[in-house]
């Protein structure tokens, strides 16, 4: 584990990019637990900061693919975003009302599902 705080953050960013590039998952999957383990973040702060980082990672990813070669279906994406945004508003509201350790347990369950999906590919 890197000793310097900024180095730890840089390592988390590099690992997030590495895993999302290799597997299509791994942005938040890596960021949230490493912020908890390496920087002593609480669950709520780690998930909120992860979302802010994902905005930037997604934008850089889109730029890196050169505007994605016309593969983005903008109208379909915007329409699907409506229920998805409803979900995230609800999810963040629920998260403020449950214990932080419950967030960790949910996250562990999600990681097990990710592992199963990876093995079954």
- Residue 2 as a binder of other proteins (CB under 8 A): the answer is no
Binding residues for other proteins, rule CB under 8 A, total 95
Q: List Cα–Cα distances, 55 to 27, 60, 63, 78, in angstroms.
A: 10, 9, 12, 16
Residues 22-81 touching other proteins, rule: CB under 8 A, are 22-29, 31-33, 35-37, 39, 44-62, 64-65, 68-69, 71-74, 76-78, 80-81
Among 2, 3, 4, 110, binds other proteins (CB under 8 A): 110
Least Å distance, CB 3 to other proteins, is 16
Say whether 95 sits in a helix, a strand or coil: helix
Q: How many CA atoms lie within 13 A of 10 on its CB side?
A: 6
- Residue 111 as a binder of other proteins (CB under 8 A): the answer is yes
Among 3, 9, 38, 40, binds other proteins (CB under 8 A): 9
Helix axes 5-23 and 43-64, enclosed angle (nearest 10): 60
């Amino acid at each position: 584990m890197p000793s310097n705080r900024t180095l730890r953050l840089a390592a988390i960013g590099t690992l997030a990019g590495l895993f999302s590039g290799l597997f299509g998952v791994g942005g938040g999957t890596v960021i949230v637990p490493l912020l908890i383990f390496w920087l002593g973040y609480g669950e709520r702060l780690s998930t909120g900061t992860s979302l802010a980082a994902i905005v930037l990672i997604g934008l850089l990813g889109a730029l890196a693919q050169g505007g994605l070669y016309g593969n983005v279906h903008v109208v379909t994406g915007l329409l699907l975003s409506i229920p998805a945004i409803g979900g995230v508003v609800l999810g963040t509201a629920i998260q403020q009302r449950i214990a932080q350790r419950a967030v960790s347990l949910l996250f562990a369950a999600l990681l097990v599902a990710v592992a199963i999906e990876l093995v079954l590919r």
